[in-house]
Every structure is written in C-alpha cells, then in structure tokens.
Amino acid sequence: GRVRNYINKVLEEGRPLHFSLIDPDKLSSLKDLSMLSKQLYEAGTDAFLIGGTLGISKIELETCLDILEDFPIPKILFPGNVNVVSEKADAILFISLLNSDDIYYVIGAQVLGAPIIKKTRLETLPTAYLIVGYGGTAGHIGRARLIPFDNYDLAAAYVMAAEFMGMEFAYLEAGSGSPETIRPEMISAIKKISNIKLIVGGGIKTEDKATKIAEAGADIIVTGNIIESNIENATKIIRQIKKTRIIE
C-alpha cells in the first residue's frame, strides 16, 4: 500500500495532489521526456500517471517508465485497455468505466487484466472512471453515456454507487483536450455527499481553472496536454495547486 499511503499522507496534511499525465503514444513529440519530467518534478508534481487510450505499444510504455525511474515519486499506470500493464510502474488505477454502455469497459477488460496484474507487484487503486461532457477519445472508444457537464446530481449518484461498491477513487474525466473542464460546482456537489478521493482531469490549461478545481475540493488534479503544448504553464499550474489548502 505504499502509493495509497503516500496519497493519503498528502491529503491528511490538507493538500491536494497533482499528477502529470504522460501518454507513451506521444513519446516522439515529447521531445525530451527526461527534461520535461525534471521540470514537472521540480515544480512539485506528486506522481506520474502513464497511459492513454490509443496507440500505446509495450516498448513506448516501458521506455517512458525507464526515463521516469530517476524520479522518487510514484509511477501510476492509467490504462485504456489491457495493453497498459508493466511491472516497471509502482501502481495501477484499476478502473471501471461505470458510465459505459459496453460491458467490456465496465468489467470485461478488468477480468482479462486481473490475472496479468496478479503476476506483478503492482499496487491496485480501485477507481470509478466517469466520463463527463466532451469525453474525447476515451469517451468515444469507451462508449460512454456522457454525464452532462451541468448534471451534478447524476455525477453524484454515480459516485455514491462507486463508494457503496468499495471503490476508493473516482476519476471525473472531461476528456483529454476538452474545451471545457469539469465544473467546480460538480466537484463541490460530490464532495458534499461522499468521502471518495476525487481525481479530476481533462482540458485544464490555466492556473485559474486549476485553482478553482482545487478549491472546490478535488483531491487529485491531472494535467496532460499542457505538458506538451506549454511546459511553462504546466509548471505554473503545479505550483499553484501545491499552494492550495483543502478546506473542510
């Protein structure tokens, strides 16, 4: 439970975490992953999340993990399918896409993946994956019945169900590259009714948005695209998040 304990320790100090999402499919365009990851680490990112939906080969996945090995923060897999498993990581978000219409993404891939994970030392972090609003590639491939950006009650009901099933994390995903982020109102509505650890990502590009999301009560904030498109802003967002305190 090392990664779980690491996350809980930061949250107990009243601080939200920031995860940097690295997509191995973009390895060739991430000109110098070791340089970028150094900047992210020095800005204070709490973990690397490695994964994506399309085009991830085992070689690229493990190349990423080899480069990230130098940094003493957790490397957590974020799988779009059973291809994103590697012993070189520390943990895996064991996700079920609860609002998928396709049983494969709810429990099928998990059944295929579980015996593979069992052969590794990966720590599993049980996570409800909920795709909201725009959805992006993950929403399309995962056949998500998208939760509207403004339907806070529906999102809250999914999170309650996830919590009753014993999941520890819920990931509110607007979709990578989403023109809109998860609304702070949705986050605060969920935090009012649940103690689940809330991961929020998709379309976060500015310090202002990140601050509002953190202040609304997100426990973990994920940024992906901005690392590639504007590393300066990516590091500013991290510094800003790390200044925020969680107010109970």
Q: Does the annotation flag 83 for ligand binding?
A: no
Which has the closest alpha carbon to 91: 61, 49, 58? 49
Q: Does the annotation flag 136 for ligand binding?
A: no
Residue 202 CB, shortest distance to ligand 1GP, in Å, is: 4
Closest residue to ligand 1GP in the complex (CB): 201
Q: Which is nearer to ligand 1GP, 5 or 85 (CB)?
A: 85
Q: Does the annotation flag 175 for ligand binding?
A: yes
Residue 133 CB, shortest distance to ligand 1GP, in Å, is: 12
Tell me 16's DSSP state.
-
Q: Which residues pair with 174 in a beta bridge?
A: none
Which has the closest alpha carbon to 73: 86, 91, 96? 91
Residue 75 CB, shortest distance to ligand 1GP, in Å, is: 16
Q: In whole angstroms, what is the distance from residue 57 CA to residue 65 CA?
A: 12
Q: Which is nearer to ligand 1GP, 40 or 204 (CB)?
A: 204
Residue 177 CB, shortest distance to ligand 1GP, in Å, is: 5
Q: Which is nearer to ligand 1GP, 50 or 118 (CB)?
A: 50
Q: Which is nearer to ligand 1GP, 49 or 117 (CB)?
A: 49
Which residues bind to ligand 1GP, rule: CB under 6 A?
A: 21, 173, 176-178, 201-204, 222-226
Q: Does the annotation flag 12 for ligand binding?
A: no
Q: Does the annotation flag 142 for ligand binding?
A: no
DSSP-H helix ranges across 130-171: 136-141, 152-164
Residue 51 CB, shortest distance to ligand 1GP, in Å, is: 8
Q: In whole angstroms, what is the distance from residue 189 CA to residue 196 CA?
A: 12
What are 26-35's contacts with CB under 8 Å, separation 24+? 26/52, 26/228, 27/60, 27/63, 27/64, 29/228, 30/227, 30/228, 33/64, 33/67, 33/68, 34/67, 34/70
Q: Does the annotation flag 53 for ligand binding?
A: yes
Q: Which residues are annotated as a binding site?
A: 23, 53, 171-177, 202-203, 224-225
| Residues making up the binding site for sn-glycerol 1-phosphate | 171-177, 202-203, 224-225
